[in-house]
């Protein structure tokens, strides 16, 4: 989805900035963790929807 793409782009940008020492490792970790959290949440909601769909058959 667009959201996942934006998130991946943000992580790539952060990784690049981190490699160039523009941001600290803590800052980089925070961005990754925040993104992972959102990804897990969206994955969970997708799973929940899929489960609902299969049980309603």
The answer to whether 28 touches 14, Cβ cutoff 8 Å, is: yes
- In this prediction the pTM is 0.52
Residues 1-54: tens digit of each pLDDT: 788 888 888 888 988 998 999 999 999 888 888 887 777 777 777 777 777 766
Task: Report the C-alpha dihedral over residues 10, 12, 15, 20, rounded to 10 degrees.
Answer: -100
Provide the residue ranges of all domains of the chain, joining segments of one domain with +.
2-55
């Amino acid at each position: 989805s667009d959201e996942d793409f934006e998130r991946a782009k943000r992580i790539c940008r952060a990784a690049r900035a981190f490699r160039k020492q523009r941001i600290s490792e803590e800052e980089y970790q925070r961005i990754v963790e925040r993104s992972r959290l959102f990804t897990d949440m969206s994955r969970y909601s997708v799973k929940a929807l899929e489960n609902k769909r299969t049980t309603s058959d």
